[in-house]
A and B are shown apart, each in its own frame.
Chain A
Amino acid sequence: GEQVEQRPPHLSVREGDSAVITCTYTDPNSYYFFWYKQEPGASLQLLMKVFSSTEINEGQGFTVLLNKKDKRLSLNLTAAHPGDSAAYFCAVSPITGNTGKLIFGLGTTLQVQP
């Protein structure tokens, strides 16, 4: 079945720097991808939903890139600020089987230092 590897597990950057988190997946039939943000003690907040038909997706302060050839999904936070400090999770939704399941990466803990 689908497997998702997320790197790095921990990331520390200074305010104003960029931060890049990458996930690789194995199922070439995966069609929907998600990035979630989780602040300490809180639930998961959806950052972005990505369709496999779109390679570049832009949000507020971040960009998500999808490379279908390499089966790689990346989240690039531009000009990180302390409020971005949180755990980030990618999730992949395989289209096969139609179970609606999401396969999550293990997460990246991002710390943005002032």
Chain B
Amino acid sequence: EAAVTQSPRSKVAVTGGKVTLSCHQTNNHDYMYWYRQDTGHGLRLIHYSYVADSTEKGDIPDGYKASRPSQENFSLILELASLSQTAVYFCASRGGFQAPLFGEGTRLSVL
């Protein structure tokens, strides 16, 4: 069964600390995405990737890095977490023009 698994599901981080959010897909999809969801802003694209070892900037990349070491894994890295990065983060994978399949989300609180 197609799946996108995110870890951790929730995290509390301190301001200035490093945070890594992980995403794993078993769908053999080429595309992977990181979205951020805030109340009143819908989903905004942070970074995406269409092949291993390559990432692209989305619409709001500042303060985030991404890493795609393999087709199955896509990480989002906050080198210096800030209060404004408190949000719910969703990873998604997509094959061709199929509908993206979303993970369960990671709720990040930066204190």
Chain A residues within CB distance 8 Å of chain B? 6, 31-32, 34, 42-44, 46, 49, 89, 93, 99-102, 104-107
Contacts and interface: CB of A to CB of B under 8 A. Distances in A.
Contacts of A42: 104-105
The 4 A-B pairs at the shortest CB distance, nearest first, are namely A106-B42, A100-B31, A104-B43, A44-B102
Contact of A101 (B42, B58, B90, B104): B58
Which of B31, B41, B102, B103 lies at the interface centre, i.e. has the most chain A CB atoms within 10 A of its CB? B102
B90 A44 contact: yes
Contacts, number: 47
Given A43-B103, A46-B99, A89 B48 contact: no
**Chain B: number of interface residues, binned into ranges:** 20 to 34
A32 B100 CA distance: 12
Contacts of B53: none
Interface in B96-111: 97-105
Contacts of A104: 35, 42-44
B50 A89 contact: no
Interface of B: 30-31, 33, 35, 40-45, 48, 50, 56, 58, 90, 94, 97-105
B42 A107 contact: yes
Which of A42, A93, A101 lies at the interface centre, i.e. has the most chain B CB atoms within 10 A of its CB? A101
A105 B44 CA distance: 10
B31 A89 contact: no
Contact of B43 (A46, A89, A93): A89
A29 B7 CA distance: 36
B100 A102 contact: yes
A93 B102 contact: no
6 contacts: A34-B100, A43-B90, A43-B104, A99-B48, A101-B45, A104-B42
B42 A49 contact: no
B97 A93 contact: yes
A108 to B, nearest CB: 10
A101 B41 contact: no
Nearest to B95: A100
